[in-house]
Amino acid sequence: MRVRIGLSMAPREVEVDVDDGEALAAEIERAISEGQALVRVTDRSGVQHGLVTDKIAFFELEPKGPKAGIGFSTA
């Protein structure tokens, strides 16, 4: 699942692919509510991203299901 995280100090969002977006959302919410300074996000390839919790402006979970898109197909 792709997760987009907006940071107030950065002009672009951070995008990561994770196995369980709901668990990541709960972890971010818990870190913010407990006043933790940093939350670590590990993506599917094992890379860890450290995010400063008081700079997290938003996070979005990509909806489940097939992605609707516009383009050319070879089918």
* pLDDT per residue rounded down to tens, the chain (75 residues): 899 999 998 899 989 999 898 999 999 999 999 999 999 999 999 999 999 999 999 999 987 656 555 656 555
Q: What is the pTM of this model?
A: 0.74
The per-residue pLDDT for 9 is: 86
Buried b (16+ CB within 10 A) or exposed e, 35-54: eeeebebebeeeeeeebeee
